[in-house]
Amino acid sequence: MRIRLNSLLVDDQDKALTFYTDIMGFEKKNDIPLGEFRWLTVVSPQAPDDVELVLEPNNNPAAKTFQKAMFDQGIPYTAFEVDDIQGECERLRTHGRWRSHGGRYQGYVW
């Protein structure tokens, strides 16, 4: 058994796609219209056939409540792995995507 999909709750699919591709460096894998929203996934360029992140609309009130509670408590919902954490932090800082949250730095999410 393997993990194929992991959903990330996002406020705006277009902004999320821009963030996860242009800033984080993932690649778009699926972009399928589904009425008001899309089946939108991104993958790591190092593992394009591995786990897909679903950029899932948080239009459900329960999803919004959950997302805000996790953010307010500083609890990560998804974790990413990199080979060079210092280099990656510097790369992300150049994009202005970090802010202090309770004395810790965390990246913005949508």
Task: Give me the CATH topology for the region 5-107.
Answer: 2,3-Dihydroxybiphenyl 1,2-Dioxygenase; domain 1 (3.10.180)
Residue 62: which H helix or E strand, with range?
A: helix 61-72
Task: Give the mean model confidence (pLDDT) for residues 22-43.
Answer: 95
Query: Nearest-CA neighbor of 78 among 109, 41, 105?
Result: 109
pLDDT tens-digit readout, 55-103: 999 998 999 899 899 989 988 888 888 899 888 888 877 776 555 555 5
Angstrom distance (rounded) from CA 22 to CA 8: 17
Q: If you compute the radius of gyration of the chain from its CA atoms, what whole number of angstroms results?
A: 14
pLDDT tens-digit readout, 19-28: 999 989 999 9
Q: Specify burial of residue 85 (Cβ count, 10 A radius: 0-12, 13-18, 19+).
A: exposed
pTM of the predicted structure, to 2 decimals: 0.79
Which residues have CB under 8 Å from 94's CB, separation 6+?
Answer: none
